[in-house]
């Protein structure tokens, strides 16, 4: 039978004893983040009590019995349940170390110890549960094929998965924060970013999420667009082979701007419908350039589209080129060669989008004179043979023809006129001659309303004629 002794001096903890208690529990709390180690440390701290002979009894009952556990008074000892846990855990107090009977203060002390241990165990189990949830969540996030990065409301990194670490490298979180600052992120708004990391173009999309009352995080998904280059090359190679087997034009427009990483791709893709393109036909080649694949459109038609529909004023530092695939030219890697050609021909828009005129003249000074006169209005090119000239016209690579009738017979005129008619209404034809207009028209049987440039050329007249024709195209 338990004896009680009231107001026993032994039941009053001295300052040194309290210090010992705090020290032991501080050591136990140092293992709080590891639940199993915490259990062992706490059990050891309780058992080494210099005043009470304590023993921690863990997992004694099934969880269904835990709510009905009561304090049990046994001969010479007291068993006190730990409350609020899923299973029944107890502290058994086997008596006082000085072998004195329990006093009233001792009973209060037992209850206080049990309450404190219950709270510690409950918080440790909650902590363990959260850790397990976090491990499961981290595992699932690491299985995603996309990068994931999360920040708290203060901009501190909360989480990033393995893909994000691989894409961003060391200091990647600071890189995203810098991009957000430059983009002027507003709380709650969806953010879309393009930026470069070690030559790779990264696309990121994110937004602020309220995960609990008053707790907001910023979550971002990262996608490496570097593989888009390979996708474009495969698509372009397929179109090239289709052009060889079935005919039809294939044209590539390459656009480059080194002002802001990803900016050119983002803006051109947003305007895909304006160019009569599917978004999939626009892909980045790197962080500062992208390519558009046009099929079934002549090169001159693509130039016209870009000139009139490309938002040139929004594209800082833009350079571009427009090249057509030549199905008559044998190539092992047609896509790679076409892109390489496009890169080599990059130029400012006011030059790259100028109409291109084919000049047929047996006398070279005629070509030189025209080149000096219309250099700001169009680009001139020549052909080494009539066959090459006809092929250029029929392929849609040139926007018009200047034919010097003084150097060719009627058969050549008929042949070039037939090719020009096949090129469509947008194709412009100019004739040049030393003869008076009326005489030249009659002698060479020029079409009614044909534009005749009289030699020696009057610069203003030639420029006006070319400008008028292509502004009305």
Q: What is the mean pLDDT of residues 225-235?
A: 85
288 and 237, same domain (yes or no)? yes
**CB-CB neighbours of 472 under 10 Å:** 8
pLDDT at 254: 95
Confirm whether 463 is domain-assigned.
yes
Residue 70's domain is classified under what CATH number? Answer: 3.30.450
202 and 235, same domain (yes or no)? no
For the cut 80, the answer to whether the pLDDT of residue 106 exceeds it is no
Confirm whether 3 is domain-assigned.
no
> Quick one: three-class SS letters along 257-284?
CCCCCCHHHHHHHHCHHHHCCCHHHEEE
pLDDT at 457: 92
> Quick one: three-class SS letters along 15-80?
HHHHHHHHHHHHHHHCCCCCHHHHHHHHHHHHHCCCCEEEEEEEEEECHHHHCCCCCEEECCEEEE
402 and 460, same domain (yes or no)? yes
Domain end call among 306, 337, 352: 352
241 and 218, same domain (yes or no)? no
Q: What is the mean pLDDT of residues 319-344?
A: 87
Confidence class of residue 342 from pLDDT cuts 50, 70 and 90? very high
Q: How far apart are CA 144 and CA 449, in angstroms?
A: 67
Confidence class of residue 64 from pLDDT cuts 50, 70 and 90? very low
pLDDT at 2: 44
Q: Is 380 helix (H, G, I), strand (E, B) or coil?
A: strand
Domain that holds residue 151: 144-224
pTM above 0.85, yes or no: no
Confirm whether 163 is domain-assigned.
yes
**CB-CB neighbours of 126 under 10 Å:** 10
User: Could you tell me if 259 and 316 are in contact, meaning their C-beta atoms sit under 8 angstroms apart?
Assistant: yes
Choice among 26-35, 93-102, 144-153 with the minimum mean pLDDT: 26-35
pLDDT at 112: 75
Which has more confidence, 264 or 175? Answer: 264
Q: What is the pLDDT of residues 271-293, one digit of tens each?
A: 888 888 888 899 988 888 899 99
Q: How far apart are CA 356 and CA 401, in angstroms?
A: 9
Confirm whether 134 is domain-assigned.
no
370 and 464, same domain (yes or no)? yes
Confidence class of residue 462 from pLDDT cuts 50, 70 and 90? very high
154 and 97, same domain (yes or no)? no
Q: What is the pLDDT of residues 361-410, one digit of tens each?
A: 888 899 999 999 998 888 899 999 999 999 888 888 899 999 999 989 89
Confirm whether 213 is domain-assigned.
yes
């Amino acid at each position: 039978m338990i004896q009680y002794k009231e107001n026993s001096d032994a039941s009053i903890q001295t300052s040194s004893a309290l210090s010992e208690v705090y020290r032991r529990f501080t050591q136990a709390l140092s293992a709080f983040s590891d639940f199993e180690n915490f259990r062992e440390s706490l059990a050891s701290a309780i058992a080494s009590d210099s005043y009470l002979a304590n023993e921690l009894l863990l997992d004694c009952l099934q969880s269904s019995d835990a709510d009905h556990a009561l304090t049990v008074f046994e001969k010479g000892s007291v068993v006190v349940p730990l409350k609020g846990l899923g299973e029944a855990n107890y502290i058994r107090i086997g008596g006082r170390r000085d072998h004195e009977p329990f006093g009233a203060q001792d009973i209060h002390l037992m209850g206080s110890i049990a309450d404190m241990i219950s709270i510690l165990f409950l918080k440790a189990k909650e902590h363990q549960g959260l850790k397990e949830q976090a491990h499961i969540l981290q595992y699932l996030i690491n299985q995603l094929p996309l990068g994931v990065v999360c920040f708290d409301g203060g901009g501190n990194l909360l989480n990033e998965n393995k893909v994000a670490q691989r894409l961003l490298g060391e200091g990647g979180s600071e890189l995203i924060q810098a991009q957000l600052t430059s983009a002027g992120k507003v709380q709650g708004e969806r953010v879309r970013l393009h930026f470069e990391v070690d030559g790779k173009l990264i696309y990121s999309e994110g937004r602020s999420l309220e995960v609990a009352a008053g707790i907001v995080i910023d979550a971002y998904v990262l996608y490496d667009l570097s593989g888009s280059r390979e996708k474009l090359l495969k698509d372009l190679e397929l179109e090239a082979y289709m052009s060889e087997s079935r005919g039809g034009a294939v044209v590539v427009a390459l656009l480059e701007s080194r002002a802001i990483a990803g900016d050119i791709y983002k803006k051109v893709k947003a305007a895909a419908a304006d160019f009569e393109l599917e978004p999939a036909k626009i892909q980045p080649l790197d962080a500062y350039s992208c390519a558009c694949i046009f099929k079934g459109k002549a090169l001159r038609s693509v130039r016209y589209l870009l000139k009139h529909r490309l938002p040139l004023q929004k594209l800082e530092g833009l350079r571009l080129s427009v090249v057509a695939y030549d199905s008559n030219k044998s190539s092992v890697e047609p896509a790679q060669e076409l892109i390489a050609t496009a890169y080599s021909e990059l130029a400012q828009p006011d030059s790259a989008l100028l109409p291109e005129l084919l000049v047929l003249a047996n006398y070279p000074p005629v070509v030189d004179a025209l080149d000096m006169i219309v250099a700001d209005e169009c680009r001139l090119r020549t052909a080494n043979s009539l066959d090459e000239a006809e092929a250029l016209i029929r392929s849609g690579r040139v926007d018009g023809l200047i034919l010097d009738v003084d150097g060719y017979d009627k058969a050549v005129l008929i042949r070039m006129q037939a090719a020009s008619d096949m090129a469509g209404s947008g194709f412009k034809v100019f004739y040049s001659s030393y003869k008076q207009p009326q005489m030249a028209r009659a002698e060479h049987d020029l079409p009614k309303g044909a534009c005749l440039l009289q030699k020696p050329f009057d610069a203003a007249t030639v420029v006006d004629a070319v400008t008028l024709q292509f502004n009305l195209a």
